[in-house]
Amino acid sequence: MNEGKVKVVYILGTGRSGSTVLDTVLGNHSQMESLGELHRLPRNGWINCEFCSCGTRVTECDFWNAVRTEWEGLNIDYSLERYLRAQESYLRFRYLPKLLLRHAISSEDFKAFVKATENLYLAIAKTNGSSVLVDSSKSPAFALTLCSAEQLDLRVIHLTRDARGVAYSQKASFEKDEKAGLERDLRPRSVLRTGFFWNITNLLSGFVRTRLGKQQSVRIRYEDFMDDPRDALSRIGDCIEMPLSELADKIEKGEDFTVGHNVAGNRLRMAGSVRLAPDTKWVRMLSAKDKSLVWFSTCALMKYYNYRKNPQ
């Protein structure tokens, strides 16, 4: 790790791509801490009082309370309310062109937002003592923000999943159940809408990798992680400059992985522990029509990522 910097392993990509599982697995390394979707912590956790994966509300969680105290000490002149306003401005889709073209970087307000974000990671590192923090926020806009943080050693995992698997997952609907990690009703998303956002998010994720540099990023397919976790973890380990064989050994033994203090993300985080199990139900359950629609709308990138029209 670069001297004096906090190493952040940022999982980038679309929702329903297995980021919660990967985040949890990496967080079980002796030197790493899993955080969930950290960019949602200020509003979802500290304002809306949603549940941490430890089972208590974030405002009642000793860990996140300690982090907040430390963070506010680093941000004497930058309030939580100001931070939330900045998130509303800089992380919205319409602001992405300015981030992509670096028009925002010279703004004093943006610099202050980056510094406050950087301080959040510093506060977590000081609170838990971990040398590496894992953030599965997935947002390209937040990743571009972190690229400007001078005290963070940022490493990016661009996690992709077959768009048809993502589409099948997003067709499901769920009723609000806060204790189960569902803070609101989830409505089904059409497969064409999923395909559109799958394309946009992965294209932007590729741009983030270009901005950051290929030595500090790696692209991993969810399917490859499930089929050969040792190889996938080896590639991730090369990127973040840490051996991850202890995690591969644990997977091969069929052991469970404990969920840390995760905020937001897949409802799986509330299970307490996870075990690797490939989710391929879409191959059988997604209709032929929907498969064709998703393939038609995403085939250029799907082929680039070595996905096949007719999966085996």
Class of domain 6-304: alpha beta
Per-residue pLDDT at 214 = 82
**d(C-alpha 312, C-alpha 283), whole Å:** 9
Query: Residue 155: which H helix or E strand, with range?
Result: strand 152-160
> What are the residue ranges of helices labelled H in the chain?
19-27, 62-74, 80-90, 96-100, 108-128, 140-146, 163-170, 191-212, 222-227, 229-240, 245-252, 281-285, 288-304
Question: 157: closest CA among 242, 228, 225, 220?
Answer: 220
Mean pLDDT score, 246-269: 91
Q: What is the CA radius of gyration of the chain?
A: 19
CB 208 within 8 A of CB 147: yes
Per-residue pLDDT at 1 = 45
Mean pLDDT score, 101-108: 74
Q: For the ranges 98-107, 145-154, 161-170, 186-195, which has the lowest average pLDDT?
A: 98-107
293: confidence class by pLDDT, cuts 50, 70, 90: very high
Mean pLDDT score, 86-109: 82
Structure confidence by residue, pLDDT tens digits, 16-27: 999 999 999 999
Q: What is the rounded average pLDDT for all residues in the chain? A: 92
CB 136 within 8 A of CB 37: yes
User: What are the angstrom distances between the C-alpha of 12 and each of 93, 177, 217?
Assistant: 15, 26, 10
Query: 192: Cβ–Cβ under 8 A, 6 or more apart, which residues?
Result: 293, 294, 297
Give the domain ranges of the chain: 6-304
pTM: 0.94
Per-residue pLDDT at 54 = 93
Per-residue pLDDT at 4 = 76
Q: For the ranges 172-181, 218-227, 270-279, which has the lowest average pLDDT?
A: 172-181
Residue 208: other Cβ atoms inside 10 A? 24
